[in-house]
Amino acid sequence: MRKHDVVMEPPVPDFYRYGPDPIAFADWSGDTVVLHWHDGKRLSCHRFWLRENTFGYGGIDPATREGLMDPAELSDAMQMTSVSVTPAGDLRIVWQPDEQETRYHSGWLKHIAEGQHYPDSWLPKPQVWTADSLPNPPRRAAAPILDDDNALADMLNDLLCYGVCVVEQAPIEAGFLNQLASRIGPVRDSNFGALWDVKADVELAGDAKTNTTANTGFRLGPHTDLPTREVPPGFQFLHCLVNEADGGESTLTDGAALVQALKASQPEDYEILSTRRWIFFNRGPGIDHRFSAPIIDTLGREDIPTIRAFYPVRAFPDMPDNEVAGAYAALRRFHQLADDARFELTFRLGPGDIMCFDNRRILHGRKAFSGSGKRHLQGIYIDRDEIQSTARAVNRGQAAI
Ligand SMILES: [Fe+2]
């Protein structure tokens, strides 16, 4: 039997399983019922919210467990005529105008009283790091991730906590990233393809045929990919297939640490970098991606900033003329800070290593190639929504066992 086939009584508006957590008593006043538990937790429930979340009776569809009630149908006639706690500790309500009795599972109500319905619940808190506090990225073996939810949870939790994880001992097979992605969620496509190659024979460095600086042997300073998009790809997975090149070490820098350092010691730079806009422009035959945004774009999350720092596609200032000089000065200092050894992890990717990181929070870079030898990496993007959804599901699943 799959977990979501377990019959809950009374049924709940999702596919999770809840243990009973009996309500101590319910206070009813006007439109609101306040539930109290013996441990002091309480939950305030508006009558319309209860109606929307009634299993059946026009509220929650038993098949999809989604809400059926169009807000236009909410009526003043939907009044509670009786509120009580059942002998099992569940909430019982009788509704006008038809005297319909409905019940609400005590454990489901309690998980809301405990805040487990918030987007951040079931996810690890982000931890800001520097080269001192995280001298090496966490490493996880590839094979267990493919069939063990504990191993998958460990990797996803590293990614959400530190923004970084190296999956090691992966098969040295082109396309393996699709197998890894099938454990996590849909791959995010772009004009570079769903699965893209970073491949440069040193003799091709600077080849005019390539459409991205990534496919040259040039140094790539700390950056994040695709700032030309309204919401850049969430996470990036780079699978090393061949690395015989002399040089080409990878670097990682926590953008959240840079933001913390800026706020503490260069608040004026932070103000400029988080408010003055630049136009990012992805030039290419037949494509015209562009977006205007600040270098530090919180996108609603101060603690996990979106850093738009890919200078190859930063094209035009989008600010009053008299602010451009100050914006360049702040930008220069920001990139110097991003390159500071205090913040930057440097390591060499070997065949079978997959460097996984939060593409919006973590700046990644590559030292220049020199000498001889080949280097071939494959990459995919998976959005943050998918990483978080799977992490919540596996973390919650593990907690329930
Ligand atoms: Fe990149």
Residue 29 has pLDDT above 90, yes or no: yes
Using alpha carbons only, what angle is made at residue 115 by residues 112 and 116, rounded to the nearest 5 degrees? Answer: 80
CA distance to 267, 330, 340, per residue, from 130 (Å): 19, 21, 10
Going from the Cα of 226 to the center of ligand 1, the distance in angstroms, rounded, reads 8
Going from the Cα of 158 to the center of ligand 1, the distance in angstroms, rounded, reads 20
Residue 4 has pLDDT above 50, yes or no: no
Going from the Cα of 239 to the center of ligand 1, the distance in angstroms, rounded, reads 13
Which domains are seen in the chain, by residue range? 3-117 (3.30.2020.30), 139-396 (3.60.130.10)
Task: Kindly state the helix (H) or strand (E) to which residue 167 belongs, with its residue range.
Answer: strand 164-168
Residue 306 has pLDDT above 60, yes or no: yes
Residue carrying structure tokens 């919650």: 396
What are 239's two structure tokens? 């699978």
Per-residue H/E/C for 223-280:
ECCCCCCCCCCCEEEEEEEEECCEECCEEEEEHHHHHHHHHHHCHHHHHHHHHCEEEE
What are 177's two structure tokens? 């990233």
Going from the Cα of 364 to the center of ligand 1, the distance in angstroms, rounded, reads 6
Going from the Cα of 325 to the center of ligand 1, the distance in angstroms, rounded, reads 27
Going from the Cα of 224 to the center of ligand 1, the distance in angstroms, rounded, reads 6
What are 293's two structure tokens? 């945004």
DSSP symbol at 71 = G
Going from the Cα of 146 to the center of ligand 1, the distance in angstroms, rounded, reads 26
Going from the Cα of 365 to the center of ligand 1, the distance in angstroms, rounded, reads 7
Going from the Cα of 223 to the center of ligand 1, the distance in angstroms, rounded, reads 6
- Tell me the three state secondary structure of residue 320: coil
pLDDT digits (tens, 9 = 90+) for 175-217: 999 999 999 999 999 988 999 999 875 444 444 455 566 666 7
CA distance to 27, 58, 61, 280, per residue, from 71 (Å): 26, 12, 15, 40
Going from the Cα of 220 to the center of ligand 1, the distance in angstroms, rounded, reads 8
Task: Kindly state the helix (H) or strand (E) to which residue 396 belongs, with its residue range.
Answer: helix 384-400
pTM over 0.85: yes
pLDDT digits (tens, 9 = 90+) for 339-385: 899 999 998 999 999 999 999 999 999 887 765 678 899 999 999 99
